[in-house]
Amino acid sequence: MSNNPLTPGVVPARLPGHVLAENFGDSAPPLDRHEARVAADRCYFCHDAPCMTACPTSIDIPLFIRQIATGTPEAAARTILAQNIMGGMCARVCPTETLCEEVCVREVAEGKPVEIGRLQRFATDTLMEKGIHPFTRATPTGRRVAVVGAGPAGLSCAHRLAMKGHDVHVFDARTKAGGLNEYGIASYKSVNDFAQAEVDWLLMIGGITVHNGKTLGRDMQLSDLQRDYDAVFLGFGLAGVNALRAAGEDKANVMDAVDFIAGLRQAGDKGAVPVGRDVVVIGGGMTAVDAAVQSKLLGAENVTIVYRRGQAKMSASRHEQDHATAAGVRIIHNAAPVAVHGNGAVAEVEFAYTEETATGLTLRPETFRLRADQVFKAIGQTLLGAPEGVVVQGGKIATTGAGRTNVAGVWAGGDCATGGDDLTVTAVTQGRDAAEDIHAALAAKG
């Protein structure tokens, strides 16, 4: 007898294979040609368009939509990718509802924005499915740049540097390139192994060598890279996870949401991934939502997100929250964990209600308990392994200008560095801009 949502404990295969396949299919299916044409026709081609201003990579959105409307999605893709080389992934994971689509004049006027994200996906998918890489390398410069981290920031930086003719070596601790695109995004947002396909496509530029399984500080030191390369870009993300600081958090089946998400992404058979009957997710960001929704999709009976502040403070967008609640996830606000109970493995989590006071968030005397046989911690990631000598500020590598660290010849970008939200699109921007700055610096050196 196989498992079902009511089976106690943390077990695999709570749902039949065909249900899992459907649950983890494309959550937002791509537009077909006709739908894209209709969606593109809604764009007003605004002057100095607000959507373009809202995009961290400043994609010329009205132009690419007009290019779709006139039957040239390939040209549209070039417009997108020239600004954002990971425009394909960003089309899938960008919180467009808080970026371009939030400021779309049709959102303002009708509450129904032009579907910029889906149109972007239509364009980039069209080009990438044809196996076309629309950029070429400049004449090789003979300069060598080391990039640490093969996530969105590192790959964006590497691509732009390669375009400029530099030789780029990318070092990444994991076995696959892609960073959070490969390990950190909900499976239903990146189906058909899109993250790896995008990496392969990106590397078609040439001049980029990826070294997997290489961790800075263990396999090489910053000083080695400074010695062997003309410039270094640090984009290794946030490898640490914040602790709950609640008694009993070391009990079995209390785990990091990022590990659960990564494991699920790498699992060929989703039915092999164990999940609890009663799952509690602690946190208020996209990671919390991704872990909670996917727990539900795996067949957990009860999934609850508990966030210590009010709804407005949740860093997961309203769209993401709605996605979670529509999937059957319950969201409790204004409660913080105070203890994890259980005999060896977690059985219950005890929460205290919170309130915002002049002195900050404080716990109220009222408490409640949630049954839990699995708990996911999603209360933020932390910087791990910043090289010695690099100034860290507020938990991030301090940068000025286009990602310059305090160390000459060393740039940083993406989640590990200061500036911007921790979004894929922000990381791509920072990688790109750092590459331009590195290129300018190398050129100035003559």
Partner 1 sequence: MADLSSNFIGIKSPNPFWLASAPPTDKEYNVRRAFEAGWGGVVWKTLGSEGPPIVNVSGPRYGAIWGADRRLLGLNNIELITDRPLQVNLDEIRRVKRDYPDRAMIISLMVPCDEESWKDILHRIEDTGADGVELNFGCPHGMAERGMGSAVGQVPEYIEMVTAWVKHYSKMPCIVKLTPNVTSILPPAMAAKRGGADAVSLINTIKSVTNVDLDHFSPFPMIDGQGSHGGYCGPAVKPIALNMVGEIARHAETRGLPISGIGGVTTWRDAAEFLAMGAGNVQVCTAAMTYGFKIVEEMISGLSQYLDDKAMTLNQLVGRAVPNFVEWQDLNLNYVTKAVIDQDLCISCGRCYAACEDTSHQAIAMSPDRVFTVKDDECVACNLCVNVCPVDNCITMTELPQGAVDPRTGRKVTEYANWTTHPNNPSAHAAE
Q: Which residues bind partner 1 (CB under 8 A)?
A: 37-38, 41-42, 44-50, 105-106, 108-109
CB of 27 to partner 1, least distance (A): 26
Smallest separation (angstroms) from partner 1 to the CB of 324: 31
Check residue 165 and give left, alpha or beta (phi > 0: left; psi -120 to 50: alpha). Answer: left
Altogether, the residues listed in the chain come to a count of: 446
Q: How far is the CB of 64 from partner 1 (least distance, A)?
A: 17
Among 54, 53, 59, smallest CA distance to 80 is for 59
Residues 158, 203: contact at Cβ < 8 Å? Answer: no
Which among 150, 265, 234 is positioned nearest to 199, based on CA atoms? 150
Bridge partners of residue 332, in order along the sequence:
306
In the bound state with partner 1, the residue whose beta carbon lies nearer, of 71 and 206, is: 71
Q: 88 with 198: CB under 8 angstroms?
A: yes
Whole-number minimum distance, CB 115 to partner 1, in Å? 14
Closest separation between CB of residue 109 and partner 1, Å? 4
- Nearer to partner 1 by Cβ, of 49 and 300: the residue is 49
Tell me whether residue 18 or residue 34 sits nearer to partner 1 (CB atom).
Answer: 34
From CA 412, how far away is CA 84, in angstroms rounded?
18
Identify which of residues 103 and 157 has a Cβ nearer to partner 1 in the complex: 103
Q: Which is nearer to partner 1, 62 or 151 (CB)?
A: 62
Of the pair 103, 336, the CB lying nearest partner 1 is at 103
Q: How far is the CB of 384 from partner 1 (least distance, A)?
A: 42
CB of 37 to partner 1, least distance (A): 7
Q: Which residue, 33 or 369, has its beta carbon nearer to partner 1?
A: 33
Q: In angstroms, what is the minimal distance from the CB of 108 to partner 1?
A: 5
Q: Identify which of residues 99 and 438 has a Cβ nearer to partner 1 in the complex.
A: 99
Contact (Cβ atoms closer than 8 angstroms) between residue 412 and residue 138: no
Residue type, 395: G
